[in-house]
Amino acid sequence: MKFALTLLASALLVFAIPAFAGSDLTLMGVNGAAQGNVYVNPYYGSLDGGNTIINIFCDDLSHEVNIGQTWPVTIINGANASGGRFYSSIGQVGYDELFWLETQYTLANKASWGNISQAGWDITSPGAFTDPSVLAWVSQAEANYGSINPADFMIFTPTGAGQEMTADSPVIEPSTISILAGSGLGIFVVARRRKLGSKLS
């Protein structure tokens, strides 16, 4: 029995990690706030055509997507942002600053959302903005990023064209849920057969 459970647990790890890595992200909508003729964060998206709408945050000023557009992404836990599109230029600290900015949308009034969004874009594209109100948010992110846990955030890095987005909570995609459910059923069947086999012996 222990061997079967170990085998199933190993299979779950082997198959669950690749399933979590590749997904399709769809931009479902925007919040309506704009600054400089650009809609600002947060946006609304879904993974793999699912019905669950999640808040997503664009950190990518140099690429565009349209509402309804779907693009392939790799999902990365924020605690190790090394696979992120901008990691080579901003490092883990830059992503942690982006994550801190995400936490400010619920604390700041909606009039500040444009400045917060542009501060994030200035982190990934340094010098893109010169407005003191935007740069003040950049400075706050530099001073306060240590107050967040990057493991509480996810990065949706495009595998081709498309914008990079982040989210402020872990997202379990449908394929991962299917694997977990299938593994649970497999454990039940093996345990049931073992129990029945011992009664027949």
* Structure confidence by residue, pLDDT tens digits, 161-199: 899 999 987 555 444 445 444 545 454 444 445 554 555
- Kindly indicate the confidence band of residue 21, based on its pLDDT and cuts at 50, 70 and 90: low
Exposed/middle/buried for residue 186 (C-beta within 10 Å: 0-12, 13-18, 19+): middle
Give the count of beta carbons closer than 10 Å to the beta carbon of residue 65: 20
Global pTM?
0.76
**Boundaries of domain holding 187:** 2-192
Is the residue at 198 inside a domain? no
More confident residue, 12 or 131: 131
Round to whole Å and give the CA distance between 120 and 58. 8
Is the residue at 120 inside a domain? yes
Is the residue at 199 inside a domain? no
What is the percent of the chain where pLDDT is above 70? 73
Round to whole Å and give the CA distance between 97 and 137. 10
Phi, psi (rounded to 5 degrees) for 161: -75, 165
Phi, psi (rounded to 5 degrees) for 159: -90, -5
Is the residue at 201 inside a domain? no
Round to whole Å and give the CA distance between 75 and 124. 18
In this prediction, residue 194 carries a pLDDT of 53
Model pLDDT for residues 99-124, shown as the tens digit of each residue: 999 999 999 999 999 999 999 999 99
Is the residue at 200 inside a domain? no
Round to whole Å and give the CA distance between 81 and 112. 27
- How many folded domains does the chain comprise? 1
Contact 99, 154 (CB under 8 A): no
Round to whole Å and give the CA distance between 174 and 45. 15
